[in-house]
Structure formats: C-alpha cells, structure tokens
Structure 1
C-alpha cells in the first residue's frame, strides 16, 4: 500500500504542475529514459521525449535517442555511441514549421558518491545533420541526486534531483544554451524511478521554463 500512496502523491504533484504550466504558459516535457544492461559490460540506452509548448497537444519537439554503451569500470565510467531522431515544430512568425534532424553522439559518463550525494558527470559530443546545415556541439552536465526519506537511493525512497547543463557550439557563436533543473523523485524499486520537476532554459534570444515529468527504467536484459 505504501508504494500506491507514494505514487498517488507523485501523480498529484504532476497534476499540480500541469495546472501551473497552463496558467503560466510554461511548456511540459514528458520523458522516458531506459538504460538496460545487455551483458556485464554492455548496456542499451533508449529514450523518448515528447515536448510540448503547453501542457499537452501543442507539440514542440519529439526526440528519440538510442545507443550502445560500455562500462570501463564496474557500473561506472561508461562510454556510449548513439543516434538521435528529432522532429521539431517551432513557431515562425506565428506559423508552425516542421524541421527534422538526425544526430550522432558520443558520450562519457562518470559517477561519484560523497555520503548522501550521488554525482554524475556527462560529457557529450554531437554531430547534428539538419535539413540545410551541419553543426557540431559539446555538452557538459553535472547532476546530483540526494535521498531524503532514507540515507541511500533504496526502494520507496524520496529524493531531490538537480542538474546544470551547458551547450557549446563549434563555431563563432560558441554559447548555445544552459539548462538548470530541480525535481522531486521517488524510487519505485531498484530498477524504476519517477521524477517531477522544473527546468529553466537560457538561450541567447530567450529564457523559458519547462515542467518535466520523467520515468527511468534500468531493468537489466541479461540473465544476471
């Protein structure tokens, strides 16, 4: 029963953020992240993000990413090669346009633990094949998960999640954007967790907030 009460509270938080988004013209991103072991060293990354200009129905971007990763050390220091498909529908002079991007990316993730603080560093290089252009971009993210209701990130644990990520171009306009995020999360079991939070995205020409609802799946596919 405890898990159902906890999940009901998460759903309530999500419903409140939907209402807040509609009243304040914030976007909402619905996100699924899978990171599944396929052997002792190898993992499969799978990800879908459905991003809206409002709470639901006004598509801003559909992002699908996948990749194969390899642990350089046990459950840490992971290198990954991946591909992303991005369908964007921005407003240009009041009218919606459609853009498609194909993206290849390479990344390195390393984790550290200091007491309750679970840190993650992610370094990502992207080769972006746009409809009429090619660009390269570097991203660095520093993320932090802090368990609240228990000392460790164990099942039935509430936790706080924060991150900062900077995006840099490989051309004269180096700065692309910066994202700052804060959320409340719940560990359902050792392989599943859910988060609801707020992200502020700063770009050269605009500063916009996003509500984010994320589901994380780490169920292993290998027998062990």
Structure 2
C-alpha cells in the first residue's frame, strides 16, 4: 500500500511538471452534509450525503450531489462498500434552465485503515461506472454518455488533544486523491486536502479545510499545431458536517472510527 501511495505521489508530481498550469484565482466552496450508520453486530452499515459547490465563496452555486451507499465491515480495518449517486452541473448564471448535464454514478470500493498509535492512515480504492445525460439530448464535443474511472485516496489523521479520535477531540486531516481514466489519458485529476476538525461526541463531527483540485486536459495535435497537456487548478473552502447514528444494544467499548469524508 505504501508503494501504491508512493507511485501515485510520483505520478502527480510528474504530471504537474509536464503540463501548462492554468490556476483559477477565485476560491470556490464545497458544503458537505453526511449521515453515517456504522457497522453493527452483523457488520452492515451505510451512509447518505448531500453536497453543494459554488464557483465563488458562498456565491455562484452551480453543482450538487446526492449519494448513498451500503457498507460491510469485513474486518476491523477493512470495509467494502457499494454506492451510487446523482451529480448535477448547471450554469450559475441561468439556474432556472436546469442542469447542463446530470451524471448517474455507481461505484464499488474497499477501504483499509491503519491505527498506528496517534497517526491514523486510511487507504481507499474505488472503481466507478458513470452515465451522463445532457440538456436537450445534445452531447457536447469531446463528451461521452458512459465512462469508467478508478480512484485512490490516501488519508491521514492526527488527533491533537487525545491519543485517539474520541469525544471532544480536535484533529488534523490530510489527503491526496488521484483519479485515473482506464481508456486514457490515464492521469485525469488530483485532489490535495488539508483541514482541521472536531468530534464533539459519538454523533457529531465537523471539519473545515481547503482542497486544491487539478484537472488535466490531454495534449492534442490539430492542424499542425501541438497543444501540450494543461492543468486547470482551483482552491476550494470545504465545510463538512458528519452525523453518526449510534447503534443500540452493542456490547463492549465503542470502536474507534476515523472521521474521513465518504467522498
């Protein structure tokens, strides 16, 4: 797993080094609300989430996600999940016309978590199936109606005032996630996140941080003109609230959960 993370990080570094950079100077924001049902005596759980994104800070809203999934805890540090969602993208200047495109997505993922003293490390592997529909049924140039994608996220957590993430715990959260297109160009997107959070009790956890998302446009050669791969990057303020539903009639001490964002 450490080799996987090293290779992903190296791929990210090389992609940045070989592309033209086109950063967006404006900050956007992501607002995320999640309800989690942890695995119980039979190890089954799940989650539901709503997410909204804006092109500017708390303005120019253009995107939303509605997602839910079912999980199964195969072991203490190994979880399998099947989930799906609806993703709608609109023009913030003309929201009344409805979404420009709507994506229906299904995915399967496995998550490995390592509880190494104070440092908690989570590895998440995901395979996605994605279906797209477009306004008026017109497929834009370069777009497709179906595609697959592979994702890997390395997420680390460090509790600040406790040895574990428990009640009244402040913590740091850092992650790097890479997105791959099986049909190429292979390296498609990278997300780097850093933030702080606080777990109030067994139910409520909040986080605030910054995510830098970079999309990679493939190189092209048209009409004897070569255009190198371009990196379009944008910083976003992320505000997240997670509510964890407690299971009744469970024996023994409550298990430790890392406060990772499901998506």
TM-score, normalised with respect to structure 1: 0.82
Instruction: Provide the residue aligned with 1:43 in structure 2.
Output: 45
Q: Distance in 1 between matches of 2:40 and 2:117?
A: 29
Paired residues, number: 198
Q: CA deviation at 1:42?
A: 0.3
Deviations 1:155-187 (CA, angstroms, capped at 9, x unpaired): 111111100000001112111100000001111
Q: CA deviation at 1:95?
A: 7.5
Contact 2:168 2:199 in 1 (8 A): yes
Contact 1:37 1:222 in 2 (8 A): no
1:160 paired residue among 167, 172, 180:
172
Unaligned runs of 5+ in 2: 1-24, 134-138, 140-144, 217-230, 251-263
2:162 paired residue among 122, 145, 150:
150
Instruction: Provide the residue aligned with 2:261 in structure 1.
Output: none
Contact 1:110 1:122 in 2 (8 A): yes
The change in CA–CA distance for 1:222 and 1:58 in structure 2 (over 3 A counts) is farther
More displaced stretch, 176-185 vs 96-105: 96-105
Instruction: Provide the residue aligned with 1:81 in structure 2.
Output: 82
The change in CA–CA distance for 1:223 and 1:58 in structure 2 (over 3 A counts) is farther
Contact 2:27 2:234 in 1 (8 A): yes
Instruction: Provide the residue aligned with 2:203 in structure 1.
Output: 191
Instruction: Provide the residue aligned with 1:68 in structure 2.
Output: 70
Instruction: Provide the residue aligned with 1:176 in structure 2.
Output: 188
Q: Distance in 2 between matches of 1:28 and 1:222?
A: 36
Instruction: Provide the residue aligned with 2:244 in structure 1.
Output: 218
Q: Distance in 1 between matches of 2:187 and 2:161?
A: 38
Unaligned runs of 5+ in 1: 1-23
Q: Report the secondary structure of 1:136's partner residue.
A: strand
Q: Report the secondary structure of 2:56's partner residue.
A: coil
Q: CA deviation at 1:134?
A: 0.2
Deviations 1:117-152 (CA, angstroms, capped at 9, x unpaired): 011111111000011510000000010110112222
Select the structure of larger CA radius of gyration. 2
Contact 2:82 2:108 in 1 (8 A): yes
Q: Distance in 2 between matches of 1:214 and 1:31?
A: 5
Deviations 1:20-58 (CA, angstroms, capped at 9, x unpaired): xxxx62001001122203642100121111111112242
